[in-house]
Amino acid sequence: MPPSVRRPPLGMPRPTVLSLAPEARVAPAHLFRGPVPSHAGHGVSVRTGGRPAYLHVPFAYDPSRELPLANTARRINICLSGATDPYYYPERAALLSAVRRHQWTEPDVSILPHPGYPDVGHELKHQITGEAYLQFLARHRFAYVEPGREGLEFMRYSECAYAGCIPVGRFPGSSEPTLASLILPLESSNLGPDYQALRTRPRERDVDHVVEYRTRLAAERNPLELTARVTAHWRRQLAAAGV
């Protein structure tokens, strides 16, 4: 590996990969669930001779986790959470640096570090995880979402909707145009104008925006639809192998 390329550290989230066993005498088939780096999909394509034998399935959306919408309690404007390693998350790291340079934004921004991965031996940095994280997010009007260097769709895109926040930042490569259009701009290179537009945005528009974002996610990340997509994928693989 070239010196300029870093290996992912232990504990970095990796996609679930399922493969049909070779002894089953079927065409190679791989299923990725969750965020998938571009180099992973390329690797599968190479291993299978360039045939379209892999499928990426994003995280399913669970409407039962949605919290009630109560904008009166959302006194803090923006939640900026997650890891800020400049290699994996260059824009998130740049935005955090910009917020700290422009002190006039700090009172309106909550900064929550990534809790770490205690399941692989990391020290847990805080207890704001799972449902407690959703409750924390629900104190904010906006939640910053960003797909990292690889353009991945992390769980935080759904968690933003569960908490009833408006997503700001960047959309992942897997987002459909109608879904991506609901993520409002917040760029490190344009922090002043973007921040001012968010701060002065009429609150009466918030609920409709969140409801539309939830509705889009529920439709485009529907568990039954995703399951049907996986089933159809396996059937195509079996048919190609004559099984």
My answer on whether 68 and 132 are in the same domain is yes
Asked if residue 9 lies in contact with residue 83, where contact means CB atoms within 8 angstroms, the answer is: no
Average pLDDT of the chain, as a whole number: 80
Gap between the Cα atoms of 112 and 94, Å rounded: 15
22 and 103 part of one domain:
no
CATH classification of the domain holding 174: 3.40.50.2000
Question: Three-class SS string for the chain?
Answer: CCCCCCCCCCCCCCCEEEECCHHHCCCCCEEEECCCCHHHHHHHHHHCCCCCCEEEECCCCCHHHCCCCCHHHCCEEEEEECCCCCCCCHHHHHHHHHHHHCHHHHHHEEEECCCCCHHHCCCCCCCCCHHHHHHHHCCEEEEEECCCCCCCCCCHHHHHHHCCCEEEECCCCCCCHHHHCCCECCCHHHHHHHHHHHHCCCHHHHHHHHHHHHHHHHHHCCHHHHHHHHHHHHHHHHHHCCC
Question: For residue 162, what pLDDT is reported?
Answer: 97
Residue 67 sits in the same domain as residue 138: yes
Same domain (yes/no): 21, 67: no
Cα(125)–Cα(75) distance, integer angstroms: 25
**What pLDDT digit, counting tens, does each position of 22-79 carry?**
333 333 344 555 555 544 444 444 344 445 556 778 889 999 999 999 755 687 789 9
What pLDDT is recorded for position 160? 97
Structural domain contains residue 152: yes
Pick the closest to residue 90 from 147, 13, 157 (CA basis).
Answer: 147
CA-CA distance, 158 to 11, in Å (whole number)?
21
For the stretch 170-228, pLDDT in tens is 998 877 888 889 999 999 999 999 999 999 999 999 999 999 999 999 999 999 998 99
pLDDT for the residue numbered 14:
44
* Domain range for 160: 63-220
Does residue 144 sit within a domain?
yes
Question: What's the number of domains the chain is made of?
Answer: 2
Structure-token pair, residue 16: 């679930």
Is 182 within a domain?
yes
pLDDT at residue 53 in the model:
57
- Judge if 132 and 214 occupy the same domain: yes
Mean pLDDT value across residues 91-95: 96
